[in-house]
Structure 1
Amino acid sequence: MESSSFPAEIIHPARLGCMLRLVEHRTGDAAVAFQCDGCMLPGEGTRYTSVVDNHPTHLALHTSCALATPTLQHALVKGTMELRHEAPAGGAGVCSACFETVRGFHYYGSRKTGKGEHPKLHPCCARLPVSIAVQGGLTFELRAEVSHRCTGCRAIEWYYRPWCYRSTNSPDHRVYLHVKCIREIMESPGGGGGGGAGDEDDRVVARLLERADQSSKLERRVCKILVILVRVVVRMLIGDPTALLTEGVSAIVSPW
């Protein structure tokens, strides 16, 4: 979704009367980082920010947090999810997708999962594509449960079950990557940041190969494709509305 398709101004979803304005916050070609005052997670670039006397205040929201609908039907969650503006009572709870602590805006599922928990999703995580077709031949689908080890952390699926992207049409080797691991690969030392786009891609490839078990035979060709998946998912998590267009992928996103 292009940022130009978002409304220029909206009323803050949790603070009645507070006007927010859409801002493309960049320094040169680099997107400026911020912390979302809705979900309390990092963001970059495009955001909604409050404006007083034409001077932006510190209040800022991801576009996904600012425009989140009161309810949501998600392909991977049974029943209706309700938007809540405060963390769960007692501060307990993690996002079903990324396994990060829920500290602010989130969707709360009305029906428990097989583990006896109510699913929760950050608004940005609720917008993650459920299917991504990457140039180079691989298609990835978002799944709530898988029966194999993650390529990134090698964890066995048991009680630890963040959502995972699984390749669906790899003839030689099926790839699994937790949403949580995708974020960690991009944010880890050597995983991204600094240098040009090519250098960043090389660092992500090196990080993927480092994490992969030797028996997985993860080829550099596959890693190059995974770099695109990593970039798309991370950009969606930080609230970049142009992620899908920038990477030129075909994706299916859960509607709001």
Structure 2
Amino acid sequence: MCYLYKWIILLNNSLFSFYPLFVNLHITMKYNEISHLSHPEHRLTYDYTQIPFKCDGCKEAGIGSHYKCTICDYDLHVHCALPSPSIFHPFYTKCSFEFFTMPPGSEPRYCNACEKDISGFVYHCKTCGFDLHPCCAKLPTMLDDGEVKLYLYRKVRSPCHKCGRKGRSWSYRSTCKKYNLHVACAKEMLMESWHEIYYGGVGVENGDYGGSMYGQSWTLETRIPSLKLTLQSYHRMDKKRKGKIKKCCRIAAFAVQFVISAVLGDPTTLIAGVVGALISK
């Protein structure tokens, strides 16, 4: 038996306030199904896919293990489907993060880990005002493929191998300190590649993806074949602009695939291997 927040929404001067109450979230382990309050119409079934999907909870991209409604095409990251009522994070020792199904308040909010907008499920600290996407909050502090170890840092002094900037967002850095990739840049790398596949690279400047993440254009993502095509597209773009990612991939071996799989909510060897099959070529 697990627990999930149940929300009572009170309308007060046109502002919505959210109050958490603990209720049971029954999980039928025999059939690997859950009943989720965000989708009460049908039960959600555990599934695994190498095709990217949009999580209907946090509104972020995902891949691998997730829960879905096969009737309504409703998908949730595992971390969004089975959240903790509250969490602590080693990067914010004075904070207690509570789970919300919608960002609190009327002001726009962004994730302190990846600097992307908060549009759905979120862990929020009322004291400090910090916010974390559920998958960002659960990013492993260390990724290890047996050859390369990557450690998660809140800030690093060395520049990111993709954007060349320092201290933009959380970063994964190798033990040898020769490889550094922002969590934000890992997400952008994927979005640029997916947009290149369907829109020819138009409208990816300054985070403008032409509605590919939000709105009706996102329906295209259900037809993206795999991460292999995504990474192939990115490397083609990389050749044109002589970027650093390809060189970085050679230096860090399997580092990139683990970072990407982690930010998508499934830092497993199997998903990482999908990306690794391309990088090793």
Output the TM-score relative to the length of structure 1: 0.68
Task: Render the CA deviation track for 1:6-36: whole Å, top value 9, x for unaligned.
Answer: 9711121445675322233x5xxxx333321
Structure 1 residue 36 corresponds to structure 2 residue 47: no
Q: 1:7 to 1:231 in 2, by over 3 A?
A: farther
1:148 is matched with which residue? 158
Matches within 5 A, 1:59-78: 59-78=74-93
In the alignment, the residues of structure 1 paired with residue 56 and residue 246 of structure 2 have an alpha-carbon distance, to the nearest angstrom, of 40
SS in 2 for 1:56: coil
Matches within 5 A, 1:1-256: 8-14=32-38, 19-24=43-48, 26=49, 31-50=50-69, 56-78=71-93, 79-112=95-128, 118-136=129-147, 138-157=148-167, 161-170=168-177, 174-189=178-193, 197=228, 200=231, 203-204=234-235, 207=238, 210-212=242-244, 220=247, 222-224=248-250, 226=252, 228-240=254-266, 243-247=268-272
Output the TM-score relative to the length of structure 2: 0.63
1:253 is matched with which residue? none
Query: Which gives a bigger RCO, structure 1 or 2 (Cα 8 Å, sep 6+)?
Result: 1
In the alignment, the residues of structure 1 paired with residue 61 and residue 105 of structure 2 have an alpha-carbon distance, to the nearest angstrom, of 22
Residue pair 2:192, 2:234 contacting (<8 A) in 1 also = no
In the alignment, the residues of structure 1 paired with residue 253 and residue 270 of structure 2 have an alpha-carbon distance, to the nearest angstrom, of 16
In the alignment, the residues of structure 2 paired with residue 237 and residue 81 of structure 1 have an alpha-carbon distance, to the nearest angstrom, of 19
SS in 1 for 2:141: strand
Query: Post-superposition shift, 1:231?
Result: 1.9
How many residue pairs align between the two structures? 216
Query: Post-superposition shift, 1:88?
Result: 3.3
Q: 1:91 to 1:104 in 2, by over 3 A?
A: farther
Amino acid at match of 1:43: G
Q: 1:166 to 1:17 in 2, by over 3 A?
A: same
Residue pair 1:186, 1:204 contacting (<8 A) in 2 also = no
Amino acid at match of 1:60: D
Amino acid at match of 2:100: R
Task: Render the CA deviation track for 1:27-57: whole Å, top value 9, x for unaligned.
Answer: xxxx33332110011223543223xxxx521
In the alignment, the residues of structure 2 paired with residue 44 and residue 23 of structure 1 have an alpha-carbon distance, to the nearest angstrom, of 10
Gaps of 5+ in 2: 1-28, 198-223, 274-281
In the alignment, the residues of structure 2 paired with residue 230 and residue 245 of structure 1 have an alpha-carbon distance, to the nearest angstrom, of 14
Q: 1:129 to 1:45 in 2, by over 3 A?
A: closer
Residue pair 1:185, 1:204 contacting (<8 A) in 2 also = no
SS in 1 for 2:124: strand
Percent identity between the aligned chains? 27
